[in-house]
């Protein structure tokens, strides 16, 4: 009895991400206007302003103030760093 080989249909599976994507959190507009949020790298203890890099090694571009405000005004979401520390 011969066994037949079956071909898989459809595209091959996509590879796993090497790094997880940045999670955007919904920000309530009334809260944004009422409270003084700490949301950007410039406000964090781990941000080195002279080199403009995170001392822990995380990507700063999506968490910078300008990028976060642009994201908020476009879709109401911000990229909050999970390791944000304030002085």
Mean of the pLDDT values across residues 9-30?
82
- The model's pTM is 0.69
Which residue from 49, 40, 46 is spatially nearest to 70, judged by alpha carbons?
Answer: 40
Write down how long the chain is.
87
pLDDT per position as a tens digit, 26-81 = 999 999 999 988 889 999 999 999 999 999 998 899 999 999 999 999 999 999 98
pLDDT band at 2 (very low <50, low <70, confident <90, very high): low
pLDDT band at 21 (very low <50, low <70, confident <90, very high): confident
């Amino acid at each position: 009895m011969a066994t037949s080989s079956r071909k898989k249909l459809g595209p091959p599976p996509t590879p796993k991400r090497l790094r997880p994507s940045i999670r955007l959190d919904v920000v309530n507009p009334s809260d944004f206007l009422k409270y003084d949020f700490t949301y950007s790298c410039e406000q964090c203890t781990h941000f080195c302003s002279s080199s403009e890099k995170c001392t822990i090694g995380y990507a700063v571009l999506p968490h910078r103030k300008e990028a976060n405000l642009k994201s908020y005004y476009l879709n109401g979401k911000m990229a909050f760093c999970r390791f944000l520390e304030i002085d």
